[in-house]
A and B are shown apart, each in its own frame.
Chain A
């Protein structure tokens, strides 16, 4: 029991919970989440002062809906996976529903990614 709870503790420290306005929550690795400069700043503890989000490892986005946030998370993983490669690997297209476009665009603008 004790080994699994410390493993849970370890997992929590390197991950962050992103919560949407309509009650959904997504847990992603910090390195993935920080592909968004905005989120990176929210979680920053090195500059002499940390905000609530950095201390609790949770960020709530009341204005972003669950299905949009889900797509954002997928995009962050996609960016994390392919951004560092340079241009040697063929990068697959990032697909999303057209109905999501506007909200996704606004979220991208908001999160600077």
Chain B
């Protein structure tokens, strides 16, 4: 059978790639394409084929960005409404998932290239090469038109809107996160693009946001309301991580929240005038104390502040009991001086015993109250 020249053979594959992107694989013969690639590798045209395929992919992706994405990106940048961000991010996500589907097919057709040429030349396998092409053409184009920054901006704006109570499309955001996690950083292969670009910005912006939120709350809310609001924030942020972020972000985000909502105001919360720790203890606000404890206990310094605050209050209450009883004791004694001495002495002893009993009772009652706190609010935390 007469052999076609390598360039013509390569054209077959280049054209097939185009058809695959257009969802026309059903019109193509896998065997013919596979055999063409096989022939090119055997005739020592592996490099031409590999580089040629990469060029085809890059050109295709660049065209798609220009036709389908750039207009949305510009709109989202100029007028960052929720809808515009959504349209932009959705268009990126669509290109990504189409690219993945196409690459799975392309890698199968070029399996001989992977098994024979790629291994020998120690290059990236076809699928990985396709992923890098996407990263370097769509996200980080050398011409500076890379979409990585606009994507991160739009993503963070959607989070901001959601924190403000608006509805955003979470599945699109999840698609974008998944995309960023599948692509690896050029500089350090072990880290993903998500880790290097989106995550740091996300954490930084979250810190700023909650710094401002806490500053307002500490002035306007009592301690119970503050801690309940803080707990609600913790829950909603963790929900956000589950819904459309990456698990590794949970720890970082939690730490940021702890710093801004709890750590920065550890004493401040307890000392809120007329609505601080002492009021919560005296009003036996068990549920609020429980929330407070849960927020403070993972953090050593705030926990110490809490513990010393409670200790101080217990000591104060204890002294009050002793003082009250010793003043009534002296009151009783005063009353006794008017009676006959013997009666006075007896009264004195009996009264003293009563007083002593009352003191013990009061102290025990105080102990019970705080034991209840220990049980119900502080989860029997040994450190308390």
Question: How many residue-residue contacts, CB under 8 A, span A and B?
Answer: 59
A37 touches B26 (CB 8 A): no
A60-B111 contact given A49-B20, A50-B25, CB 8 Å threshold: no
B8 interfacial by beta-carbon distance below 8 Å: no
Binding stretch for chain B, among A27-35, A39-47, A97-105? A39-47
A42-B31 contact given A50-B26, A51-B26, A55-B26, CB 8 Å threshold: yes
List, in ascending order, chain A residues with CB within 8 A of B334's CB: none
CA–CA, A38 and B108, complex, Å:
8
B283 interfacial by beta-carbon distance below 8 Å: no
A41-B115 contact given A52-B27, A61-B31, A110-B38, CB 8 Å threshold: no
Q: Which residues 91-113 in A have Cβ within 8 Å of B in the complex? A: 110, 112
CA–CA, A85 and B30, complex, Å:
31
B115 touches A112 (CB 8 A): yes
A77 interfacial by beta-carbon distance below 8 Å: no
CA–CA, A49 and B99, complex, Å:
12
A57 → B minimal CB distance (Å): 13
List, in ascending order, chain B residues with CB within 8 A of A70's CB: none
Q: Which residues 1-35 in B have Cβ within 8 Å of A in the complex? A: 1, 20, 23, 25-31, 34-35
A63 → B minimal CB distance (Å): 6
Contact of A52 among B26, B38, B105 (CB under 8 A): B26
SS of B interface (majority) = helix
B26 touches A47 (CB 8 A): no
Contact of A49 among B38, B101, B115 (CB under 8 A): B101
List, in ascending order, chain A residues with CB within 8 A of B102's CB: 49
List, in ascending order, chain A residues with CB within 8 A of B115's CB: 112
A59 interfacial by beta-carbon distance below 8 Å: yes
List, in ascending order, chain B residues with CB within 8 A of A47's CB: 101, 104-105, 108
B101 touches A53 (CB 8 A): no
List, in ascending order, chain A residues with CB within 8 A of B101's CB: 47-49
CA–CA, A53 and B31, complex, Å:
8
B111 touches A112 (CB 8 A): yes
Closest 7 CB pairs of A and B: A48-B101, A51-B30, A41-B108, A49-B25, A42-B30, A47-B104, A49-B105
Ordered by A's residue number, 17 sampled pairs between the chains whose C-beta atoms are within 8 Å are: A37-B111, A38-B112, A41-B30, A41-B108, A44-B108, A49-B20, A49-B26, A49-B102, A49-B105, A50-B26, A51-B28, A52-B28, A52-B29, A53-B30, A62-B1, A63-B35, A112-B112
